[in-house]
Structure 1
Amino acid sequence: MKIDYNIFNQKTAIDRFIFAIENGYFVEAHELLEDDWNMYKKQGDINKALVLKGLINGATALALYHIKKRPESHKKVWLAFEKYVPLLDTVDVEEKEKYFKAKKILIELNKRI
């Protein structure tokens, strides 16, 4: 899939992530939150890191299904999304509504499978 370079016009990592999943760039979406995920891990902010891990795994699961054509792997990785994303209710992140939006989009895309 050829990447739409408008993805890089988005302001923040979560904005780029949302753009990517809305446009089917699931592999790229996986990469877009990794720096923030690693930063939270290094800072010891484990729950924030796990929320990002959940979103990353949601995008990865969709990539496994749609791009890699591996439905069994999709199911296994989607479980990590379901495990970690509920922590979003308990963490304090800037622009939290965008993280909820990403969660909602991933759930909707997964329902179509």
Structure 2
Amino acid sequence: MTKIEEFIEVVKQGKYVQAHEILEDDWRFYRKKGLKPEEKAIQGLINGATALALFFIKKRPTSYEKVWKVFEKYEHYLNIANLENIEKYIEAKELLLKINSTIKK
């Protein structure tokens, strides 16, 4: 199972903090290489999972709103990122959006 597939599975289980950790090394790798589209695409997914953790687990709606905005800011990088299995990254984005849509604002 790839890291992005693992990310998707743990998000489906509501383990948002764990999901964040799964992609952390990949984010650091792309950041260190200076590959901005890949770095920001992954950072967006990480922030999406973090935002959901803040809302559902930590019960901090104000913090959730701030972090979710980072997800929204970076999600477009998935359109230009050169990531292997890009379709899985897009699936992860769609999953985060679907879960987020259940939040009453």
TM-score (norm 2): 0.96
Deviations 1:33-90 (A, max 9, x none): 0000000011111110011000000000000000000011100000000000111001
- The CA deviation at 1:31 is 0.3
Q: Percent identity?
A: 50
Which of the residues 56, 65, 68 maps onto 1:75? 65
Residue 65, structure 1, aligned to residue 52, structure 2: no
- Residues 37-48 of structure 1 mapped to structure 2, 5 A cutoff: 37-48=27-38
Unaligned runs of 5+ in 2: none
Where relative contact order (Cα < 8 A, 6+ residues apart) is larger, the structure is 2
Residue among 86, 90, 104 paired with 2:94: 104
The corresponding residue for 1:51 is 41
Q: Which residue does 1:18 correspond to in 2?
A: 8
Distance 1:96 1:50 in 2: 14
Aligned residues: CA RMSD: 0.6
2:84 aligned to which of 58, 78, 94: 94
Amino acid at match of 2:76: P
Letter of the structure 1 residue corresponding to residue 82 of structure 2: D
Gaps in structure 1 of 5+ consecutive residues: 1-10
Matched AA of 2:100: N
Runs of 4+ in 1 over 6 A off after TM superposition: none
